[in-house]
Amino acid sequence: MTIKNQFKDKQIGIGVTGSIAAYKAAEIVSCLSQQGANVTVVMTAGAAKFVTPLTFQTLSHHKVIIDLFTEDYAFDPQHIALAEKLDALLIAPASGNIIGKIASGIADDALTTLVMSVQASRVIIAPAMNERMYLNPIVQDNIKRLKKQGYHFIEPAKGHLACGSGIGRLADFDTIITYLSKKV
């Protein structure tokens, strides 16, 4: 599914977290880039264990942000500069860890710091995790709290998971792209 030119000249941040579903973010980045979006990928250290930054750099044609304290940039508080220009920030996949950090106001890496700098209404979170983790009352409370604060969520799907089957699978590609197209 493609939404032709829907993303042309849009500034879209893609947050990738430490989930087995991290590889699926590559298809999202590729689609957006092919449609003319200016895509900036921000990865957690855990995400880089599943997919290399080079994959996203190649697909987005931009340097991938992993560290808050990169020395090869001229002084520019990246999270503030990027936050000001983003039309949307999609976190896909979003682990239970990142959801908990955001809900608690923890900004201890490049992605959580960026989230704290972006208006909640421009942040879209697509959870992906084990069913027991997703259904855990703490995770569910964090999701409810973030929704009340204006964050958007794309519900996970039921299906095959790395540990069996159930709810917690990253929503399918078409669902994510369609949802994002309605928010930019």
Q: Could you report the per-residue pLDDT of 147-157, keeping only the tens digit for each?
A: 999 999 999 98
| pLDDT at site 72 | 53
pTM score: 0.92
Domains located in the chain, CATH noted: 11-183 (3.40.50.1950)
Active-site residue set: 163
- From residue 159, give the alpha-carbon distance in Å to each of 37, 114, 128, 156, 179: 30, 31, 11, 9, 20
Three-class secondary structure of residue 11 per DSSP:
strand
In this structure, the number of other CB atoms found within 10 A of the CB of residue 106 comes to 15
Res. 73: pLDDT tops 70: no
Average pLDDT, the chain: 90
Closest CA to 177 of 19, 14, 54: 14
Res. 162: pLDDT tops 80: no
Mention every residue, 6+ apart, whose C-beta is less than 8 A from residue 166.
Answer: 130, 131, 158
Average pLDDT over residues 64-87: 71
End-to-end CA distance of the chain: 17
